[in-house]
Amino acid sequence: MVKLRRFLVMIQEDYHSQNPYHNAVHAADVTQAMHCYLREPKLASSVTPWDVLLGLIAAATHDLDHPGVNQPFLIKTNHYLATLYKNTSVLENHHWRSAVGLLRESGLFSHMPLESRKQMETQIGALILATDISRQNEYLSLFRSHLDRGDLCLEDARHRHLVLQMALKCADICNPCRTWELSKQWSEKVTEEFFHQGRYRKEVSIGCESIL
């Protein structure tokens, strides 16, 4: 329990409280939504404890150390993260690697075999990378193809993982599904963060762009 608490505190501290939207409250909101999805009877009867663990950790860490600006901004300003990840899923790769760092530093799963820990890190990465909005069609097309063929089988670990990816994607953008008061607050927060980025863009003279 001590290691778990340390891990959770580290997660909270690695989110930037000055971000109006991408902060620890957003992470908690997404984690709560993910928990609800995993509790849905049809899914709950098929997922394993391992699946649930991966899903909740990925949800809690999916925006870890978010800088409050989007990927195009990082690329256009030649940010070191854009260079490090070769302009590909820049934020999501950073969130994943940050999550791995906290997992290792906390020692939460130090009792597990090395191969199991590596597998966990890779699968958490695959979940977090699925939240990249620029790859939305890729994941939706794959999921729809299984639905159209009727061959989605939750006994297959690969298919369960795809469902976890879709669940996390839904949890990440579930704000409109909340009550009106909550949804309105989230809308105001994300708009405020977009305006902050707009001001940063003016400061570095790179013009306007899509908010996504």
Q: Is 95 annotated as a binding residue?
A: no
Q: Is 16 annotated as a binding residue?
A: no
Distance CA(47)–CA(66), nearest Å, equals 29
Distance CA(133)–CA(71), nearest Å, equals 10
22 is catalytic: yes
Q: Is 172 annotated as a binding residue?
A: yes
Q: Which of 22, 66, 94, 95 is catalytic?
A: 22
- Nearest Cα to Cα of residue 185 among 25, 1, 18: 25
Q: Is 161 annotated as a binding residue?
A: no
Q: How many helices (H) and strands (E) does the chain have?
A: 11, 0
Residue ranges of the binding site: 26, 62-63, 172
Residue ranges of the binding site for Zn(2+): 26, 62-63, 172
Supply the residues annotated as catalytic. 22
